[in-house]
Amino acid sequence: MSRLRRAAIVAFFVHLLAGASMALVLRRGLETNPEFQDRLGFLVNHRMLWDLGWFTWTAAALAILYFYIAFAAAHQMADPSNIRLRFAVMLTVASIGPDLAAQAIEIGVLPGIAYRVSTSNAAVDLFLELHRVAVVMSGYVANGLYSTTALILAWSTREAYPSWVWIAGVSVGFFGFMLSAAALVGSVTGMFLANVLLVPAILLWLAGVAIAAPAFSTDKYHGPLTGPLT
């Protein structure tokens, strides 16, 4: 099994789990829950579920970095002149910091403040402001860089894949930009709709790469993907 195919499969299942955790768990403690007191109560009374839900997204960030590195390395071996791939991966490396910092706020800071708000109605503004900081860091900064990486990788390697695979990858970039824009302006509806489109697009692209990666055509490139990637 090639390293790229393995990375795509790992990222697929991690993102499937993360998407499920967002739909079933995290949404109850986010702005998608219109009842603010119920939202606070979920963070206070279901702290373990909240933490585990965010840990799946931490794993998703690391899994997509692994996938992007394997993707770029495979295609760089096949086409050494394509330096855009390495630059794209550097964007995702830069995105990991703000993404994990945002998740650290959600996991390690907000539940404690939620308890203070629920018991004494203090620090409401602090809770909302810190969550807003986390949304901007993760949803706008990090997600924008992830999306740019996806767009560069998918478009730069479109001749190596069936059209539905690279189009799914390009869609990841565009839907990711939609999410970034919604996060920047604070649109809850926009973030929800963008996620509804983005997560299936990511899963489709990862599945497509996992299926097509072992069958790269050697006609377009310098040779088959063998050696250290196998």
Segments in the chain below pLDDT 50: 1, 217-230
Q: How far apart are CA 101 and CA 89, in angstroms?
A: 19
pLDDT of residue 2: 86
Give which of 187, 182, 184, 150 is closest to 169, Cα–Cα.
150
Torsion of CA 82, 86, 92, 93, to 10 degrees: 180
Q: Name the token pair of 193.
A: 């709709």
pLDDT of residue 1: 47
CA angle 168, 169, 175 (to 5 degrees): 80
Q: How far apart are CA 129 and CA 60, in angstroms?
A: 25
Dihedrals φ, ψ of 34, to 5°?
-70, -15
Q: How far apart are CA 107 and CA 128, in angstroms?
A: 15
- For 79, half-sphere exposure in the C-beta direction (CA atoms, 13 angstrom radius) is 20
For 186-192, the CB contacts below 8 A with 24+ separation are: 186/132, 186/135, 188/31, 188/32, 191/31, 191/135, 191/139, 192/32
Terminal alpha carbon distance of the chain: 6
Helix, strand, or coil (residue 224)? coil
pLDDT of residue 55: 97
pLDDT of residue 213: 80
* pTM for this predicted structure: 0.88
